[in-house]
Chain A
Amino acid sequence: MELQDNSHSLFSVSLDENVKKNLRGAAKWAGNAALVGLVGTILSVLVFIVGQSRTSTRYQSSEGFNSFRSGGASQSDGLPSLVIGLIIGIALFYFLNKFSKTTIAGLDGGDSPTVSEGIGNLATYFKIIGVIFIVMIVVVFLGVLVAIGSKA
């Protein structure tokens, strides 16, 4: 019986009260961070739209129809980055919020697979950020190469 218990503990980690308390705390704060992050993303979109409309109106009132066209062009320039930012923001919110809700539900119900599912969402959240990191590093590296190339 004792041998069986030991071999079982070789493959699983016990989630005692202390682990549960700290995991619940992490999940709760992750949920808060996700919510504030989502509100921030939505507000940033609003700021972008308001800023663009102000710029367009300013151009329109000062220089007429021709410059309205140039205001429209700058709006379309920023649109792809805005859409990408919005998609990333929503995806990060989705996975972090799901981690928070699923993990807390799993801990409350004493359901180990649900807790694992929640942690899986946290892994996806960090994977997304990691991939964004890699893309940013590549972009910066290429930028430095271009800058060095243009100077030479």
Chain B
Amino acid sequence: MEQNEQAPLFDMELDAQGQTSLMSVTTWTRFMTITGFIVCGLAIIGLLAAKDDLADAIASYGSISASSSEIGILVIVCVIVLAIVLVWLFLLFKASTTIKRALVSRNSAELADGFKHLRNFFILSTIFSTLSLISTIKSLF
């Protein structure tokens, strides 16, 4: 009992304002990730459906002639990139749903899990931003 009374002294609590802000975070991230999933899904379907037309499209842009195997590799690379983006979106979606569930059920363990997914999302974001930065630096020279 004495232990229970001491617990609030050491544990911080998220006030109503913080909970409202977190709810807002989950709403927006949910909207963004669901939209992202739809866009990625449509892009994958479009890429696979238009695989044969890609060679003509590339040829029409210049003197580059791409063989069917090269087009196949290009499509595979695009699908892999889209899959990585899907994983990135999934991490944000998982963070969003877990944090929302934690707020509704007042569950600290789930909240910790949600923040863990959010951390992983930001780790992947940093990696993507760094890769983009490297490509920008390359284009400078």
Q: Which residues of A are at the interface with B, using a C-beta cutoff of 8 A?
A: 1, 5, 9-16, 18-23, 25-26, 28-30, 32-33, 36-37, 39-40, 43-44, 46-47, 50, 107, 110, 112-113, 115-117, 119-120, 122-123, 126-127, 129-130, 133, 137
Which chain B residues lie closer than 8 Å to A50 at the CB level? 140
Q: Which residues of B are at the interface with A, using a C-beta cutoff of 8 A?
A: 4-5, 8, 11-19, 21-22, 24-25, 28-29, 31-32, 35, 102-103, 106, 108-109, 111-113, 115-116, 118-119, 122-123, 125-126, 129-130, 132-133, 136-137, 139-140
- Complex CA distance for A110 and B119, rounded to whole angstroms: 20
Chain B at the A interface: SS class: helix
Contact of A112 among B14, B22, B102, B137 (CB under 8 A): B14
B108 touching A37, Cβ below 8 Å: no
Contact of B115 among A23, A43, A120 (CB under 8 A): A23
B18 touching A126, Cβ below 8 Å: no
B16 touching A11, Cβ below 8 Å: yes
In the complex, the 6 A-B pairs of residues with the closest C-beta atoms, listed nearest first? A116-B18, A29-B122, A22-B115, A26-B119, A36-B129, A123-B24
Q: Which of B8, B12, B16, B118 has the most CB of A within 10 A?
A: B12
A130 touching B32, Cβ below 8 Å: yes
A40 touching B112, Cβ below 8 Å: no
Q: Contacts A40-B129, A129-B28 known; A25 to B119 CB distance under 8 Å?
A: yes
A12 touching B15, Cβ below 8 Å: yes
B32 touching A126, Cβ below 8 Å: yes
Which chain A residues lie closer than 8 Å to B25 at the CB level? 119, 122-123, 126
Which chain B residues lie closer than 8 Å to A32 at the CB level? 122, 126
- Complex CA distance for A123 and B129, rounded to whole angstroms: 21
- Complex CA distance for A115 and B22, rounded to whole angstroms: 11
Closest to B11 in A: A14
- Complex CA distance for A68 and B88, rounded to whole angstroms: 44
What would be 23 A-B contacts, judged by CB atoms less than 8 Å apart? A1-B5, A9-B106, A13-B13, A14-B13, A14-B14, A15-B111, A19-B112, A22-B115, A26-B115, A26-B118, A29-B125, A30-B122, A36-B126, A43-B133, A50-B140, A112-B12, A112-B13, A116-B21, A120-B21, A123-B22, A129-B28, A129-B32, A130-B32
